[in-house]
A and B are shown apart, each in its own frame.
Chain A
Amino acid sequence: MYRYDEFDERFVRERVAQFADQVARRLDGSLSEDEFKPLRLKNGVYLQLHAYMLRIAVPYGTLNARQLRQLALIGERYDRGYGHFTTRTNLQFNWPKLRDIPAILGLLADVEMHCIQTSGNCIRNVTADHFAGVARDEIEDPRPTAELIRQWSSGHPEFSYLPRKFKIAVTGAEEDRAVTRAHDIGLRLRRHPDTQEICYEVSVGGGLGRTPMIGKVVRDDLPKKDLLAYLEAILRVYNLEGRRDNKYKARVKILVHEIGAEEFARRVEAEFAQLDGPSINADPEEVARIAAYFAPPAYETLPAVSNTLEAAKACNPVFARWVEVNTTAHKVPGYTAVTISLKPVGQAPGDATSAQMRTVADLAERYSLDELRVTHAQNLVLPHVRLRDLPAIWQKLGEAGLAEANIGLVTDIISCPGLDYCALATARSIPIAQAIQQRFADAQRQREIGPLGIKISGCINACGHHHVGHIGILGLEKRGIESYQITLGGDAGENAAIGEILGPGLAAEEVPAAIERIVAVYLAERLEAESFIDAVRRLGLAPFKAAFQEVPRAAA
């Protein structure tokens, strides 16, 4: 894991002191709310419906046990004993008091964490594949790239007042687990087909929200050494030409769409050609220094099969099912990556109590080389687990209410906080997720349905990624009540696609039955071993639309 050097440490500590002073000046009245708001947003402090909210950056979703324990402590001491993991792999506390936030930031700085650039029109927390460094289909670990971008973008003077927020994701694997094509910039490490050298495929202009777009590839063979200069060229073109007259048209996706990907790429290349690359690109020594932090840990030499694990699976089908669903093949024999579901049926997706955080921190320290990850799907990962340790881990997770075997299944729902917390929301998300989970709670049924991603947002801003859900649900207000629009056929992976609307909005209580009908069409029509999304692609929308129209509705 990356560790702060003296510059990182000083930068974060200085920011804590600055913000503490800004809070003090707000409280004594020398800053008005209009003056203070942009300052608090730059430090992750929002005002929500019931209270303030603090968004803490988890760079590329990587944490160690000490950091997670500190988050647990903050949750207990300054909040209500729980936090919410988000689709940007950050953690949000829903109830902090403004007067306590400087103290919280100090506690975060103690464990090399902060809230900088988790809001505002700047480059936000960079996300990456949550199986970075362990996935078998990986070409190169994306974390050194993500960390380099974090350092370059933190407090970058030229890009602190962009037309709008800017999100970057990085993957180094064949399968896109980081939703790169729905980001302002998506980077995919790949091997150049001719030279075999590792380079970047760069896509620009993806994004969800009001105008969902899939990113367009503007360069497919960017040499690694040119990364920062090329990013700088993209950001410059956007900073100069992105719209500032209309916040709904200010994201880079609109610029790329309006002038076309080809013309955008041409302008970027022109800017790139005249930039002084060597003065912008990272010093190779610094790149090597960063990369060294992500060198593979000292794995043991283990047999590829663990007799302990096989014996435990043989006598406990519930455990065997959890292993089947919640573990992912590791590049090192005898190891596996465990995904801990933060979607126990009936709970708010992505919420974890301080006690649960401590349990996971203990497990990471004891069984996963002191490392864990946050996924964009709002789950946690223990990335380096010996197969033989799985029974003990499962036991501990079960005691903490975290042994749900549902990763990638119908109850593993992505959901934003919605109108239960968020001041921007137009409808609730969490109760919809809970109702669908209850409807599909039966483990056998979930198994029969197989992989199916439902994603729910409580407003058009799409924090719940509904556009790229196999089934997407968008909560809106219609004539004074909550109304839910259902989309079908979205995909967050390497075949990224925006879902299409199935029909008129539904009342909250009608949503589970509608999902049921959509799933029934799939079960009736699927070919052998055909997944839900593959069936939707083959069948098209028509049969699903027909079933959707038969959903019984409350009298209008």
Chain B
Amino acid sequence: MAAVAKRVPLPAILLANDLLDGDVVFAAAAGPDGLAWTRDPAQALVASDDAAAERLEAFAAAELRGNTVVDAYLVEVGLEGGRPVPRHFRERFKTLGPSNRPDLGKQAGEGIAPAPKG
């Protein structure tokens, strides 16, 4: 029997790459009980307990089967100013973009809706 993969420490978020575009996407709350993908890391749903993490894992498995995303996995985060920030530098780059090109990627606002005014 295959060993059960060890889960990352919590709190954690779920990220993946969109199948069609390759963009990094994050699982976020949608509607009363649902989950949906967002390109904005600030919107990522933070799982702080096992039940929430299991829900993200179940969503990842379904979405991989449904061929909407690839390379979905949980990432340990800390909270900075209320926003989840991956603890490992590799995944931090996935939430930002190439560090030598601040004009590209999420750090340049790509795929992220501007915050509502007022």
Tally inter-chain residue pairs, CB-CB below 8 A.
70
Give 11 pairs: A residue, B residue, CB < 8 Å, sorted on A: A27-B20, A29-B67, A33-B64, A50-B93, A51-B17, A51-B22, A96-B22, A420-B99, A420-B101, A421-B98, A430-B98
Chain A: interface residue count, which band?
Answer: 20 to 34
Contacts of A294 in B (CB 8 A): none
In the bound complex, what is the Cα–Cα distance between A96 and B71 (angstroms)? 17
How far apart are the CA atoms of A99 and B90 in the complex, in Å? 26
Q: Determine which of B19, B21, B87, B100 lies in contact with A434 in the assembled complex, contact meaning CB atoms within 8 Å.
A: B100
Give B residues with C-beta under 8 Å from A: 17, 19-24, 64, 66-67, 70-71, 87-90, 93-94, 97-101, 104-105
A312 to B105, CA, bound (A): 44
A348 to B64, CA, bound (A): 34
Excluding A95-B22, A421-B98, 18 further A-B contacts by CB distance (< 8 Å) are A26-B67, A27-B19, A29-B67, A47-B22, A48-B22, A49-B90, A50-B22, A50-B105, A51-B23, A94-B98, A95-B104, A97-B21, A99-B20, A99-B21, A420-B101, A434-B100, A480-B89, A481-B89
Contact indicator A420/B71 (Cβ below 8 Å): no
Given A49-B94, A50-B94, A482-B89, residue A98 in contact with residue B19 (CB < 8 A) = yes
Q: Could you tell me which A residues sit within 8 Å of B by CB distance?
A: 26-27, 29, 32-33, 47-52, 80, 94-99, 348, 419-421, 428, 430-431, 434, 480-482
Q: 3 tightest CB-CB pairs across the interface, nearest first?
A: A51-B22, A420-B98, A52-B22
Q: Give the Cβ gap from A517 to chain B, nearest Cβ, in Å.
A: 25
CB neighbours of A27 from chain B (8 A): 19-20, 67
Are B89 and A51 neighbours in the complex by a CB distance under 8 Å? no
Is A47's CB under 8 angstroms from B71's CB?
yes
- B100→A420 contact, CB < 8 A: yes
Q: Please indicate the chain A residues that have their CB under 8 angstroms from the CB of B104 in the complex.
A: 80, 95
Please tell me if the beta carbons of A420 and B93 are within 8 angstroms of each other in the complex.
yes
- Give the residues in chain A near B66, CB-CB below 8 Å: 29
Nearest Cβ distance between residue A438 and chain B, in whole angstroms?
13
Complex interface: chain A residues within 8 A of B24 (CB): 49-50
Distance in angstroms between the alpha carbons of A482 and B99 in the assembled complex: 14
Q: How far is the CA of A419 from the CA of B24 in the complex (A)?
A: 15
| Residues from chain A with Cβ under 8 Å of B71 in the complex | 47
On chain A, the residues within 8 Å of B67 by CB distance are 26-27, 29, 32-33
Query: When A32-B67, A47-B71, A49-B93 are in contact, do A428 and B19 touch as well, CB less than 8 Å?
Result: no
The answer for the CA separation of A419 and B98 in the assembled complex, in Å, is: 8
A50 interface neighbour in B19, B89, B97, Cβ under 8 Å = B97
Chain B residues in 8 Å Cβ range of A481: 89
Smallest CB separation, B49 vs chain A (Å) = 24
How far is it, in angstroms, between the C-alpha of A481 and the C-alpha of B88 when the chains are bound? 8
- Cα(A244)–Cα(B100), bound, Å: 38
Residues of A within 8 A of B21 (CB): 51, 97-99
By beta carbon, the residue of chain B nearest A33 is B70
A459 to B98, CA, bound (A): 17
A480: chain B residues at CB < 8 Å are 87-89
Using CB atoms, name the residue of chain B closest to A98. B20
Kindly provide the distance from the CB of A139 to the nearest chain B CB, expressed in whole angstroms.
Answer: 41
Return A77 CB to nearest CB of chain B, in Å: 15
Residues of A within 8 A of B88 (CB): 480
